[in-house]
Structure 1
Amino acid sequence: MAQKTALIVYAHQSDGSFNAAVRDTTVKELSRQGYTAVVSDLYAMNFKASATQDDIIGESKNTQLFQYGEETMHAWEEGRLSDDIVAEQRKVEAAELIIFQFPLYWFSVPAIMKGWFDRVLTQGFAFSLVHMYNNGIFKNKKAMLSFTTGAIQTMFQPDGINGDINVTLWPLQNGTLHFCGFQVLPPQIFWCPAHSSPEMRKGMLDGWTARLGGLLAEKPLTFAPCELFNLNFHSGFLMRPEVKEEQRSRRYGLTTGHHLGKALPPDNQIKSQPQGDDADAQPNTGN
């Protein structure tokens, strides 16, 4: 039986950071479970963040107007992507699980990790308008965000000064990971480790180690499946009218993004949600 592979895409400048400690904990625990744990240390690799014409080998298809998405799709089809992109795509292909480890910068990932998303997840390789979301190319793989914050947890509550963390995470978890088909596991959030005591930081790492022990058995986050929408340009890819009508009597919106003018479903982006008739109940707290 082939050995299982996990990829940790890691973005922090310092080996003395809490993010580095989380990375090392992840590698140690997954290796103990029998995984081959591969780390893409983006800063150490000097990974290029900017998506440019240098990412393709040879001439552009359209010499009048360079369109990055179109050109990299053709380059992927023809084996003309730059070596650093191809190397990362091979890691993605081999991995059953991908963990993105980073400090939260400006409510998002560091620029170098955003560049990884922009350059590695090329059209054709990672998605198409036929193969997206729950019908996506990576639907048999799992992915998750693991990150540190500079803010304490209450600052990211719906009534906190930063606003609801579920809204912050929606573009990354739905618009990037789920869009490519990944089953998205609930995120691992390390709240404000820089201002926590050594005992608290050790407790965070111990909790993460314990979670890693059952990580692959966890239920992924819930997203609206493609089947709820009319999937063509003529209809605007809008939700089907009968689905909207069915949702009319629901207490909460369908997802953080598809709230339909209702209250957001509680913790839709940080905890697994009930299904079916229990969808309006409070989400479980098992994760």
Structure 2
Amino acid sequence: MNVLLIYAHPEPRSLNGSLRDFTIQRLRQAGHSVQVSDLYAMRWKAAIDADDSTDQDPDARFDPARDSKRAFDSGTQREDIAREQDKLRWADTVILQFPLWWFSMPAILKGWVDRVYAYGFAYGVGEHSDRHWGDRYGEGSLAGKRAMLVVTAGGWESHYGPRGINGPIDDVLFPIQHGVLYYPGFSVLPPFVVYRSSRTDEARFADLCDALGQRLDALETTAPIAYRRQNAGDYEIPALTLREHIAPERVGFAAHIE
């Protein structure tokens, strides 16, 4: 299996750095091919702008969607963007690893998504009609691939529980798992979350590696989160709201899981 690890932490000697090293070693020992995009080490440019295409007219108004589509279609994307897209095409499974900062991913990782997910590559694909609203949410260019988050959080697990003050971890991660990953077609595996990350000694690190190792060993067999497919009949098109008879007792994020 080909595994792409997108890693976003500025300190290689951190807990995240140690977990990254463990992940690479475990996967390679199991016979998998691994590529790593270490965004801080790569000095990844996070901001999407007119410089992301090599043929941008300096006098033209910059339109992020339109210009990314033109650059993608014409082969005039910046080399760093095209290289990451090639990695995604190569990968069978993608792991996003990052610390949870202000209830989301670090800006450098969000910038990776903004720039690499070009119009025509990760969104804006497929037929748009009164019966099919684009290839997304379970379909799209990345369908058939798997993805998983490896996340560290400073708070206690109870802080992210069903009644925790930070909100349930599944809700906190929903925009990333359902939006960033499921939208372009990934089958999304349950996340691996480390709580109280700053309270990790050698004994706890060994336990974390054991648990993470079990998850990595099961990448090919773990059942993905059962998100509803957009074009499979559960949603009214083009309103894209759940049909009245589908989980009528549920609202919010939970309604979009079977």
TM-score, length of structure 2 as denominator length: 0.90
Residue 157 of structure 2 corresponds to residue 161 of structure 1: no
Residue 175 of structure 2 corresponds to residue 171 of structure 1: yes
Runs of 4+ in 1 over 6 A off after TM superposition: none
Query: Which residue of structure 2 lines up, in the alignment, with residue 54 of structure 1?
Result: 51
Query: Which residue of structure 2 lines up, in the alignment, with residue 41 of structure 1?
Result: 38
Residue 236 of structure 2 corresponds to residue 237 of structure 1: no
Q: How many residues align?
A: 248
Q: Once the 2 structures are TM-superposed, how far is the Cα of residue 196 of structure 1 from its aligned partner? A: 2.9
Residues 79-158 of structure 1 correspond to what in structure 2 (within 5 A)? 79-128=75-124, 130-158=134-162
Query: Which residue of structure 2 lines up, in the alignment, with residue 31 of structure 1?
Result: 28
Q: Mind listing any 5+ residue stretches in structure 2 that lack a counterpart?
A: 126-133
Query: Which residue of structure 2 lines up, in the alignment, with residue 208 of structure 1?
Result: 212
Q: Once the 2 structures are TM-superposed, how far is the Cα of residue 193 of structure 1 from its aligned partner? A: 2.3
For 1:229, give the aligned amino acid. Y
Identity over aligned residues, as a percent? 33
Residues 262-281 of structure 1 correspond to what in structure 2 (within 5 A)? none
Residues 241-260 of structure 1 correspond to what in structure 2 (within 5 A)? 243-248=243-248, 253=250, 256=253, 258=255
C-alpha separation between the residues in 2 aligned to 1:231 and 1:73?
25
C-alpha separation between the residues in 2 aligned to 1:254 and 1:218?
27
C-alpha separation between the residues in 2 aligned to 1:179 and 1:90?
19
- 1:229/1:26 CA distance change after superposition, 3 Å: same
Query: Which residue of structure 2 lines up, in the alignment, with residue 283 of structure 1?
Result: none
C-alpha separation between the residues in 2 aligned to 1:151 and 1:72?
38
TM-score, length of structure 1 as denominator length: 0.81
Query: Which residue of structure 1 lines up, in the alignment, with residue 131 of structure 2?
Result: none
Give the alignment partner of residue 183 of structure 1, picking from 162, 166, 187: 187
Give the alignment partner of residue 22 of structure 1, picking from 5, 19, 22: 19
C-alpha separation between the residues in 2 aligned to 1:68 and 1:126?
14
Instruction: Determine helix, strand or coil for the equivalent of 1:108.
Output: coil
Cα offsets for 1:67-95 (capped at 9, x unmatched): 11111011101101001101111111100
Q: Once the 2 structures are TM-superposed, how far is the Cα of residue 257 of structure 1 from its aligned partner? A: 5.2
Q: Once the 2 structures are TM-superposed, how far is the Cα of residue 46 of structure 1 from its aligned partner? A: 0.2
For 1:43, give the aligned amino acid. Y
Contact 2:53 2:71 in 1 (8 A): yes
Cα offsets for 1:188-243 (capped at 9, x unmatched): 101112113321122111111122112210010011211222333xxx3333xxx3
Contact 2:247 2:255 in 1 (8 A): no
For 2:245, give the aligned amino acid. E
Q: Once the 2 structures are TM-superposed, how far is the Cα of residue 112 of structure 1 from its aligned partner? A: 0.4
C-alpha separation between the residues in 1 aligned to 2:93 and 2:166?
30
Tell me which moved more, 217-226 or 196-205.
Answer: 196-205
Contact 1:224 1:254 in 2 (8 A): no
Query: Which residue of structure 2 lines up, in the alignment, with residue 263 of structure 1?
Result: none
Backbone CA RMSD of aligned residues:
1.8
Contact 1:141 1:182 in 2 (8 A): yes
Q: Once the 2 structures are TM-superposed, how far is the Cα of residue 164 of structure 1 from its aligned partner? A: 1.3
Contact 2:146 2:189 in 1 (8 A): yes
C-alpha separation between the residues in 1 aligned to 2:2 and 2:109?
20
Which structure has more relative contact order (CA 8 Å, sep 6+)? It is: 2
Instruction: Determine helix, strand or coil for the equivalent of 2:96.
Output: strand
- 1:254/1:224 CA distance change after superposition, 3 Å: farther
C-alpha separation between the residues in 1 aligned to 2:43 and 2:56?
26
Q: Mind listing any 5+ residue stretches in structure 1 that lack a counterpart?
A: 260-267, 269-274, 276-287
Residue 217 of structure 2 corresponds to residue 220 of structure 1: no
